[in-house]
Amino acid sequence: MRRLNSRCLTLVAALVVAMPAWAEPREFDLTIDEMKIRVAPDLEYQVFAFNGQVPAPLLHVKEGDDISVHVTNNTTLPHTIHWHGQYQRNNWRMDGIPGVTQKAIEPGETFTYKFKAEKTGSTWYHCHVNVSEHVGIRGMWGPLIVDPAKPSALEKKVTKDVIMMLSSWDSEYADKLGSGGGPLDRPNYFSINGRSFPLTQPINVKEGDVVRLRLFGAGAEIHSIHTHGHDMLITHKDGLALPAPYYADTLLIGPGERYDAIIEMNNPGLWMVHDHVDPHVTNNGKHGGGVMTLIAYEGIEPAVEDDPHAGLPNDDADFYYSESMKKPHGLHNNPHFKGTPLQGQSRRERKRGDHESH
Ligand SMILES: [Cu+2]
């Protein structure tokens, strides 16, 4: 009896180690829909949109959580979801690679992904069918943030999360869903969270805030982000804590990469945040567009009356997922990211139009 009890205790102890007390099962629903979003003032774009929005909804979970995601494909083409960064240990069939780990999810089908959120930090999810089109220029990407069971002292200081997903667009294929993204094509619009300046929104802060800026290379371009007036302490690369965090004021972010930067808001003013790769601050070659925004301290007035930055829309406190990150763990949609459904034209008709125009 005593031996049995001690065996039971060992078993219970092993289970406690394997399933941390903070881990929970979480079940989410995602649809994929054909929508149109406004990327820039002069660019409307057809997208494959998770839950109808670009960027996709925030998935915010805890280390060790058991995740189930039911994905329903309402579009006219097959898709999958790759959980970029997650290890899928003993679970490789959930890695989302068509023709390797699964058959792609066909139009009208639902597929359920099940995996443990093992890797912490800034991970993300994206389609893995025709990646150069679906991810490169059709908006099939979103953040999967996994909070570590034991956050570092630095992470605990954060008062505001700011998620920036950088990507690019090619106006030639704006209304040609199902084509584009060729390796020699040249994108001509560049965006933060799917919007090009002046449709980006300011990063609203107050003195004393500690911002955790999570930068994602969601597209196929390399970006070089400069935060005026502030140094970034780079703490994580691809969700992994750096053994020696380092300071930078300009940071390169390549395709697929993620960097986390802690920024102390200790310098009140209106400060540019922009990409130093010149074409990336244009809309179709016209300067004053692309990957550009402002760090805007509470109570600071613009220095000049016609400052274009002062005219940025400032009606979505969740543009950088800051509000969603404060909510309880879960899936968080953002109605501001929602597109309008593609209507009146079947894909076949659109395709016919495409062929006629070539
Ligand atoms: Cu896809």
pLDDT surpasses 70 at 13 = no
Count the domains in the chain: 2
Cβ neighbours around 242 below 10 Å, total: 13
Query: Do residues 118 and 265 both lie within one domain?
Result: no
How remote is the CA of residue 140 from the centroid of ligand 1, in Å?
A: 7
Ligand 1 center to 90 CA (angstroms): 25
Kindly state whether residue 1 falls inside one of the protein's structural domains.
Answer: no
Span from the CA of 51 to the centroid of ligand 1 (angstroms): 14
The CATH number covering residue 91 comes to 2.60.40.420
- How many angstroms is it from 79 CA to the middle of ligand 1? 4
Look at residues 171, 219, 179 and name the one whose alpha carbon lies nearest to residue 77: 179
- Under 8 Å between Cβ of 65 and 117: yes
Whether 16 is in a domain gets the answer no
CA 347 – CA 2 distance, rounded (Å) = 69
Tell me whether residue 332 is in a domain: no
Domain annotation covers residue 200: yes
Nearest to 40, CA basis, from 265, 269, 250, 194:
194
| 214 shares a domain with 188 | yes
pLDDT of residue 1: 43
- pLDDT tens for 262-312 read 999 999 999 999 999 999 999 999 999 999 999 999 999 888 887 777 779
Whether residue 212 is found in the same domain as residue 130: no
Q: Based on the domain organization, do 116 and 97 belong to the same domain?
A: yes
In the chain, the percentage of residues whose pLDDT exceeds 90 is: 85
How far, in Å, is the centroid of ligand 1 from the Cα of 332? 21
**213 and 307, same structural domain?**
yes
pLDDT tens-digit profile of 192-201? 999 999 999 9
19-44 burial, b for 16+ CB within 10 Å, e for fewer?
eeeebeebebebebbbbbbebbeebe
Within this chain, do residues 203 and 78 fall inside the same structural domain, yes or no? no
Query: Which H or E element spans position 270?
Result: strand 270-275
What does the DSSP 8-state code read for residue 197? B
Token pair 């968080």 is found at: 332
- Give the structural domain span for 167: 154-322
Sign of CA dihedral 75, 350, 336, 148: positive
Ligand 1 centroid–CA 343 distance in Å is: 20
Is-above-0.95 flag for pTM? no
32 CA from centroid of ligand 1 (Å): 9
C-alpha 263 – ligand 1 centre gap (Å): 35
Distance from Cα 135 to the centre of ligand 1, integer Å:
7
